[in-house]
Chains A and B, each alone.
Chain A
Amino acid sequence: MKDEFSRAASEPDGPDINHLHHRLTDTPKAWQDQTVPAYFYPMLHDVVFRHCPHVKAHDLVEFQKPLQQRNWYRISLLILFFISDDCFAQYRLSLTDVIALLHQTAKELSDAGSNRVYINDVDRREEFIRVVLHSLNLRPKGETPTQAEDRLQAASSTERFKVLQASKSAEERARKLRVALAKQKAKEAADKMTRE
Chain B
Amino acid sequence: MAMTLAPWADIERMPTLNEESAERLRSLIDQPHAPTFNNRSGHHLNKDDLETLKNYTKREMQKSASPIIDQNDWMTDFIEYCLTKVPFYQDYLKGLNNLSDMPAVDRAELSKDITKFIPNDLPIDQLIAYETSGTTGHPLLIPSHPTVAARYSCYHKKALSWNNVNTEEFESDLAIMLAGYQEKCFTYASISPYLNNKGLVKLNFHPNDWLKSSDRQKYIDINKPDLISGDPVSLDALSEIPFQHKPKALLSTSMSLLDGCRNRLKNRFGCPVIDLYSLNEVGPIGCSVPGKQGFKLLQSQLFVEALDEYGTPLPIGQRGEITVTGGFNHCLPLLRYKTGDYGCLEQEGNDWFIRNLEGRPPVQYKTTHNEWINNVDITHLLNKYPLSQFSLHQHSDGSLTLYLLSMSYSDKLKQLIKDKLGFPVTVQPLSKTDLGSKVIQYTSDIFRNPK
Contact pick for B129, options A66, A68, A184, A191, CB 8 Å: A184
Contact string against A for B residues 81-111, beta-carbon threshold 8 Å, 1 for contact and 0 otherwise = 0000001000111111000011111000000
A180 touching B40 by the CB < 8 A rule? Answer: no
- Asked if B146 is an interface residue, CB under 8 A from chain A, the answer is yes
Could you tell me which residues of chain A, from 62 to 87, have a CB within 8 Å of some CB in chain B? 65-72
Known A174-B113, A178-B115, A181-B127: A196·B91 in contact at CB below 8 Å: no
Known A69-B91, A71-B94, A185-B141: A196·B128 in contact at CB below 8 Å: no
B152 touching A193 by the CB < 8 A rule? Answer: yes
A34 touching B93 by the CB < 8 A rule? Answer: yes
Known A177-B118, A190-B146, A192-B152: A185·B129 in contact at CB below 8 Å: yes
B215 to chain A minimum Cβ distance, whole angstroms, is 23
Which residues from chain B contact A69 at a C-beta distance below 8 Å?
Answer: 91-93, 103, 105
Complex Cα–Cα for A72 and B88 (A): 12
Could you tell me which residues of chain A, from 168 to 196, have a CB within 8 Å of some CB in chain B? 170, 173-174, 176-178, 180-182, 184-185, 187-196
B92 touching A194 by the CB < 8 A rule? Answer: no
Which residues from chain B contact A66 at a C-beta distance below 8 Å?
Answer: 103-104, 311
Q: Closest chain B residue to A35 by CB distance?
A: B93
Of the listed residues A68, A178, A180, A190, the one surrounded by the most CB atoms of chain B closer than 10 A to its CB is A190
Could you tell me which residues of chain A, from 37 to 89, have a CB within 8 Å of some CB in chain B? 65-72
B149 touching A190 by the CB < 8 A rule? Answer: yes
- Asked if B114 is an interface residue, CB under 8 A from chain A, the answer is yes
- Asked if B116 is an interface residue, CB under 8 A from chain A, the answer is yes
Contact pick for A190, options B41, B125, B186, CB 8 Å: B41
B32 to chain A minimum Cβ distance, whole angstroms, is 25
A192 touching B124 by the CB < 8 A rule? Answer: no
Contact string against A for B residues 431-445, beta-carbon threshold 8 Å, 1 for contact and 0 otherwise = 000000000000000
B129 touching A194 by the CB < 8 A rule? Answer: no
- Asked if B190 is an interface residue, CB under 8 A from chain A, the answer is yes
Could you tell me which residues of chain B, from 114 to 158, have a CB within 8 Å of some CB in chain A? 114-116, 118, 120, 124-125, 127-132, 141, 143-144, 146, 149-150, 152-153, 156
- Asked if A134 is an interface residue, CB under 8 A from chain B, the answer is no
Contact pick for B253, options A174, A177, A181, A194, CB 8 Å: A194
Interface residues of A, CB < 8 Å — how many?
A: 31
Q: Closest chain A residue to B281 by CB distance?
A: A196
Which residues from chain A contact B280 at a C-beta distance below 8 Å?
Answer: 196
- Asked if B278 is an interface residue, CB under 8 A from chain A, the answer is yes
Contact string against A for B residues 154-166, beta-carbon threshold 8 Å, 1 for contact and 0 otherwise = 0010000000000
A181 touching B251 by the CB < 8 A rule? Answer: no
Complex Cα–Cα for A178 and B180 (A): 30
Complex Cα–Cα for A157 and B102 (A): 32
Complex Cα–Cα for A193 and B198 (A): 12
Which residues from chain B contact A70 at a C-beta distance below 8 Å?
Answer: 91-93
Complex Cα–Cα for A196 and B132 (A): 9
Complex Cα–Cα for A66 and B96 (A): 13
B34 to chain A minimum Cβ distance, whole angstroms, is 18
- Asked if A139 is an interface residue, CB under 8 A from chain B, the answer is no
Q: Closest chain B residue to A179 by CB distance?
A: B124
Contact pick for A193, options B114, B141, B176, B254, CB 8 Å: B176
A195 touching B115 by the CB < 8 A rule? Answer: no
Which residues from chain A contact B229 at a C-beta distance below 8 Å?
Answer: 193-195
Of the listed residues B113, B130, B251, the one surrounded by the most CB atoms of chain A closer than 10 A to its CB is B130
A-B contact count (CB 8 A): 122
Could you tell me which residues of chain A, from 90 to 107, have a CB within 8 Å of some CB in chain B? 107
A181 touching B141 by the CB < 8 A rule? Answer: yes
B43 touching A191 by the CB < 8 A rule? Answer: yes
Q: Closest chain A residue to B102 by CB distance?
A: A68
A190 touching B44 by the CB < 8 A rule? Answer: yes
- Asked if B270 is an interface residue, CB under 8 A from chain A, the answer is no
Contact pick for B149, options A65, A187, A189, CB 8 Å: A189
B128 touching A194 by the CB < 8 A rule? Answer: no
Complex Cα–Cα for A187 and B279 (A): 21
B274 to chain A minimum Cβ distance, whole angstroms, is 10
A196 touching B278 by the CB < 8 A rule? Answer: yes
- Asked if B324 is an interface residue, CB under 8 A from chain A, the answer is no
A193 touching B227 by the CB < 8 A rule? Answer: yes
Contact string against A for B residues 191-203, beta-carbon threshold 8 Å, 1 for contact and 0 otherwise = 0100000001000
Complex Cα–Cα for A178 and B253 (A): 29
Contact pick for B150, options A67, A72, A181, A190, CB 8 Å: A190
- Asked if B188 is an interface residue, CB under 8 A from chain A, the answer is yes
A189 touching B128 by the CB < 8 A rule? Answer: yes
Complex Cα–Cα for A6 and B251 (A): 63
Which residues from chain B contact A65 at a C-beta distance below 8 Å?
Answer: 103
Which residues from chain B contact A177 at a C-beta distance below 8 Å?
Answer: 115, 118, 124, 127, 143
Known A181-B129, A193-B153, A194-B178: A188·B253 in contact at CB below 8 Å: no
Q: Closest chain B residue to A110 by CB distance?
A: B91
Contact pick for A191, options B101, B125, B149, CB 8 Å: B149
Complex Cα–Cα for A67 and B93 (A): 8
A180 touching B149 by the CB < 8 A rule? Answer: no
A189 touching B92 by the CB < 8 A rule? Answer: no
Which residues from chain B contact A193 at a C-beta distance below 8 Å?
Answer: 152-153, 156, 176, 178, 192, 200, 227, 229, 251
Leading 3 A-B pairs by shortest Cβ distance: A66-B103, A184-B129, A190-B149
New A-B pairs, 19, CB < 8 Å, besides A65-B103, A181-B141, A187-B128: A34-B93, A68-B92, A69-B92, A69-B93, A69-B103, A70-B93, A170-B120, A177-B115, A181-B129, A188-B39, A189-B41, A189-B130, A189-B144, A191-B42, A192-B149, A193-B227, A193-B229, A194-B156, A194-B278
A-B pairs with beta carbons under 8 Å apart, 23 shown: A34-B95, A67-B93, A68-B93, A69-B91, A71-B91, A71-B94, A170-B87, A173-B115, A173-B124, A178-B115, A180-B124, A181-B129, A184-B128, A185-B129, A188-B40, A190-B41, A190-B150, A191-B190, A192-B152, A193-B152, A194-B152, A194-B278, A194-B284
